[in-house]
Amino acid sequence: MASALGRLARLSALRNARTSPLTPSCGPGSTVTPARAAVSTPSGAILPKPKKTPFGLIRIALVLVPFLYVGTLISKNFAALLEEHDIFVPEDDDDDD
């Protein structure tokens, strides 16, 4: 029941631009007040800080580098296969004129 009411409230907020939390309420000079439902519970309690992942950039590099290396090996071997079977062979043009 509560989730249905939440969906209904979101739909009505999308249909009516004046009730949107990011639009000014009345004409020029009024301030924009963003809704911050992600930092509090429906009862008003403040949620704890999100867990921070340590060594994020190192983990990204540890995943990115091997997959880039494997990708280059696959593309190099596939290019050699294409050239071996004369499917795609670049022409050697002598433009030394």
Mean pLDDT by 10 residues, the chain (97 residues): 63 50 55 64 87 86 97 96 86 68
Q: Structurally, how many domains does the chain consist of? A: 1
In a domain, 84, yes or no: no
Q: What is the pLDDT of residue 80?
A: 93
Give the list of residues 6+ apart from residue 20 with CB closer than 8 angstroms, or none: 13, 14
What's the pLDDT score for residue 19?
43
**Nearest-angstrom CA–CA distance, 55 and 52:** 10
pTM: 0.42
Residue 28 lies inside a defined structural domain of this protein: yes
Neighbouring CB atoms inside 10 A of 13's CB total 14
**21 in any annotated domain:** yes
Could you give the 3-state DSSP secondary structure of residue 40?
A: strand
Distance from C-alpha of 46 to C-alpha of 69, rounded to nearest angstrom: 45
Q: Range of 15's domain?
A: 2-39
